[in-house]
Amino acid sequence: MTENKKTVQQYIEGFISSDHEKILACLTDDIVWYMPGIFHLTGKEAVDKEIENDNFEGSPTIKLIRMTEENNIVVAEGSVQSKIKVGGLLDALFCDVFQMENGKIKQLTTYQMNK
């Protein structure tokens, strides 16, 4: 597994365990995380606040299906489930596009579709 893929794997494992330090260690200081139609975050502090989103309870269940890499871009596909505080369950598929810089995540675009 390449260094970039290992970083993405560590990032996802951090979300599974709600481990802020593990997640933030994978990011550049000027990280940009964009989820079309949902949010556009800049910087580690903004990402840190989104790790445990107020709309959800506990840690999510994330299953990584595949990762593909080319020229410092890693694409990760998978599924995510998370308990919604007001009731119900987020049950979605995702495709994350990670732009890497020196083994860290510099930019992330998340595409998500509910099942």
The C-alpha atoms of residue 57 and residue 73 are separated, in whole angstroms, by: 31
* Assigned token pair, 51: 């790790």
Amino acid at 78: G
Place of tokens 């598929």: 93
* Assigned token pair, 72: 């410092």
Segment 54-78 shows an average pLDDT of 94
pLDDT tens digits, residue range 24-65?
Answer: 999 999 999 999 999 999 999 999 988 878 888 888 999 999
- pLDDT at position 115: 83
The closest alpha carbon to 109, from 72, 71, 73, belongs to 73
pTM attached to this predicted model = 0.93
The C-alpha atoms of residue 80 and residue 53 are separated, in whole angstroms, by: 14
The C-alpha atoms of residue 36 and residue 53 are separated, in whole angstroms, by: 17
Architecture category of domain 3-114 in CATH: Roll (3.10)
